[in-house]
Chain A
Amino acid sequence: MPLLDAKTPDGPIEDRWDDRKFSMKLVNPANKRRFTVIVVGTGLAGASAAASLGELGYRVKAFTYHDSARRAHSIAAQGGINAAKNYRNDGDSVFRLFYDTVKGGDYRSRESNVYRLAQLSLNIIDQCTAQGVPFAREYGGLLANRSFGGAQVSRTFYARGQTGQQLLLGAYQALMRQVHLGTVDLYCHTEMLDVVVEDGRAAGIVTRDLTTGEIASHAGHAVVLATGGYSNVFYLSTNAMKSNVTAAWRAHRRGALFANPCYTQIHPTCIPASDEFQSKLTLMSESLRNDGRIWVPARPGDGRAPDEIPEGERDYYLERRYPAFGNLVPRDVASRAAKREVDGMKGVGPLRNGVYLDLADAADRLGEDTVRERYGNLFDMYERITGENPYRAPMRIYPAVHYTMGGLWVDYDLMTTIPGLYALGEANFSDHGANRLGASALMQGLADGYFIVPYTLGDYLAPQLGETPRPADDPVFRDAEERAASETRRYLSIGGTRSVDWFHRELGKIMWEHCGMERNAGGLREAISDIAALKQEFDADLRVPGDADSLNQSLEKAGRVEDFFGLARLMCLDALRREESCGGHFRIEHQTEDGEARRDDERFAFVAAWGWADDGAPAMHREDLHFEYARPTQRSYK
């Protein structure tokens, strides 16, 4: 099995990033404008990278399929962003944030990267505050914090329930400033369809203008992908509807290894689906679990309304099974426990697909006003969606797919296995191991974009000074354009009977059933064959109306769903290969007697990075993980 080198510096962990920065080659300020850097994606990771690279003087071309850089999925993040500022004097430190992140990731992440992330968390808060991000403040005018996702220190910075929005707008505004100054050319409503690799390195991309359908090429000295996560392979998830894997997947097809695809985070507190037309699921902040109690009727099939079920006939199953942590057990534990209840015929609501989250006790204890003050906006949101009043009846919740820890494999410099091709933000696999802690995705995206890639890219570019990249009319680009155009023609010509959405929904069902909260070998094998069968049907029976020369949303989706098929298969293969339970990956065969995840550090303390194979068996490369500072322990929440 080939081994991967992450090019992690040696030495004491706290010096590694400094040492690496010092060893890097620099591009002198006057020469930076001789380099063209392509950035795909303008979410937190992409907008921060493009703005920072523009400020440094590189010539940047930035791309997004949204009509404006301000609309990326990052905008929806609610809860907050972590930083080891220790403003609360409660014992936080860079080391503690590092330790918590490695432990929370169930010892499946790279120590050096996580340590650097914790170090850079400090700079991120400074940077965003200087941009005018309106973080919550105390009466004295200093920044406020809260504890989030079960952390024992208060290290989360937030802007009401709209932290992602405010951070993204800060990065977007910095980006627009560079657009105004002419260092960044921004291409909105433009989708990347391919990465062009020539002479063993990234040479540019092929794009489609979504308004006119025009397919074009863009050449550059380096390409940065910051294209987000792939939760929508499940169709229903908390992600924005357009989020997809296409950019990462096409890079994978050109040779970039894809790491740990099976690590999926399921969030326990989402509003259950109401009918078969449900198009996405809405997350309700985890903070509700601080005061809410989760329960189901003790008797299976009990159809009574919640207020008719007396106290003694309710099962507060988290408090019962995990007396120490109760309703605050980690996301994966809470999610699986809910599934067990619903599968055991104790689900509640019209479709029997939820569990109760009850704030009645909190209202008695704290008063309804306090509850309203803390959670009023969440209650409003719940009421808007379900039409039910949460002040009168308990809310119904159920887990939903939320975040994908896997992604393109990158080394310490965030470079993929294709030289000159970088991956940032949720699109890479880097820092969260098998499970991401709350409020750490925003941190990672901004660390990658503001503070890591602006340095590491220079090291790659410096030796290329004076080299002109292949121009965008070179035959290698022309060929790639032709391939992209023929794909579009193929979708339009199938002329079957079923819509893209139908296939997407069916694929999602297979994945949720067999590669969701719990997995087992038999189910995964079944999924792999079901996916293949559905893919055959897709190739034969897809119907994409309209043409390729104007806005055609079905056509856009067809390419994205096709890529989800390939990814879905790889996720199942990865889940099958990983014969242990860790973080967001739970194999039924690998659990303790009382139903908890059983990790296998002897055999599986590695990153699985997969090569591309059309339908044969893809090759797995491995990167062994070593823990010198955060020694693996088994999690226990009893």
Chain B
Amino acid sequence: MDLTLRVWRQRGPLDEGGFETYQAAGVSGDMSFLELLDVVNEQLVTEGREPIAFDHDCREGICGSCGLMIDGRAHGPRASTATCQLHMREFSDGDTIVVEPWRAAAFPIIRDLVVDRTPFDRIIEAGGYISAPTGSAPEANLIPVPKGTSDTAMDAAACIGCAACVAACPNSAAHLFTAAKVVHLNLLPQGQPERWRRVERMVETMEEYFGSCTSHGECEKACPKDISLDNIAVMNRDYLQAKIRNR
């Protein structure tokens, strides 16, 4: 199929930026979206122009590096799918596809489609861990964890930190990301000693960078790993309790 791409190009954080149009001819449906960008880039380099910068690594939906706004949707048209797993068979001959970076005040654009997502690391740093210095761990089976608890913790822990939730949110809130980690750790018996401190610090760090949640639910729809909105409710509940306890 033949496609037209309108791609956001921006040289650096302070640059204005704007769309440029590229033609891609003879695109096969078996190509992934990122392979399409590879082909466009190859063409650009051959013409002596600068290729489009975009982030990616695993190309199998697990590292969370990739992330593009495709026709206004985070990670494009297919549900539960990261950009790198999106294949061109989702598109039709003659389509014009608009490709933009994540847009959020907390994520300055580094170049073209690459943004700076370090605020996510700051949130984890604030408390997204269980303090268990190397060597201090008890025998693993000493603390049984009910299978249901462990499974729910795993559901939340599946977050890949891609930031599609922030990009999809009209308020640029990071509640889904933060809640996924809070719930993963706060559910487990090992996570109890730091439970209240953790949620308080993480939520407050999140608020330094990101907008507030007004329950649009766009984050859940955009999430390539189906992280549930329920996590946000649990986080909010824990946060309130923490405020009462830690007062």
Contacts and interface: CB of A to CB of B under 8 A. Distances in A.
B18 interface: no
A139 B149 CA distance: 11
A275 B28 contact: yes
Contact of B60 (A141, A282, A451): A282
A130 B190 contact: yes
Nearest to A166: B157
Contacts of B161: 68, 70-71
B245 to A, nearest CB: 21
B3 interface: no
A48 B126 CA distance: 19
A275 B26 CA distance: 12
The listed residue with most B CB atoms (<10 A of its CB), out of A71, A385, A386, is A71
Interface string A173-195: 11011011000000010000000
Contact of A384 (B39, B87, B120, B130): B87
A541 B29 CA distance: 32
Contacts of A131: 129-130, 132, 137, 190
B137 A278 contact: no
Interface stretch (A29-37, A316-324, A495-503, A562-570): A495-503
A127 interface: yes
B129 A173 contact: yes
A277 interface: yes
B141 interface: yes
Given A126-B138, A130-B190, A134-B188, A554 B63 contact: no
B23 interface: no
B125 interface: yes
Given A75-B58, A543-B48, A545-B50, A138 B157 contact: no
Contacts of B34: 279
B45 interface: yes
A76 B58 contact: yes
Contacts of B111: 550-551
B208 interface: no
A369 to B, nearest CB: 19
A127 B51 contact: no
A211 B110 contact: yes
Interface in A207-254: 211, 240-242
Contacts of B31: 274-275, 277
Contacts of A280: 59-60
A136 interface: yes
A241 B39 contact: no
Chain B interface: which size bin? 35 or more
The listed residue with most B CB atoms (<10 A of its CB), out of A87, A138, A169, A497, is A169
B61 to A, nearest CB: 8
Contact of A543 (B45, B64, B117, B188): B45
A137 B147 contact: yes
A461 interface: no
B131 interface: yes
Contacts of B147: 137-139, 141
Given A76-B60, A76-B63, A174-B132, A499 B42 contact: yes
Given A126-B140, A240-B57, A176 B154 contact: no
Interface in B25-72: 28-32, 34-35, 38-39, 41-42, 44-46, 48-51, 53, 55-60, 62-65
A72 B65 CA distance: 10
A165 interface: yes
Given A68-B121, A140-B144, A543-B45, A55 B130 contact: no
Interface in A134-162: 134-143, 159-160, 162
Given A137-B145, A274-B28, A553-B51, A162 B38 contact: no
Interface of A: 48, 51-52, 55, 66-73, 75-76, 85, 87, 123, 125-127, 129-132, 134-143, 159-160, 162, 165-166, 169, 172-174, 176-177, 179-180, 188, 211, 240-242, 274-275, 277-280, 282, 381, 384-387, 450-451, 454, 497-499, 501-502, 543, 545-546, 550-551, 553-554
7 contacts: A132-B153, A162-B158, A165-B62, A176-B124, A387-B30, A499-B45, A554-B51
Interface of B: 11-12, 28-32, 34-35, 38-39, 41-42, 44-46, 48-51, 53, 55-60, 62-65, 81, 85, 87, 89, 110-111, 114, 116-118, 120-121, 124-126, 128-141, 143-147, 150-151, 153-154, 157-158, 160-161, 184-185, 188, 190-191
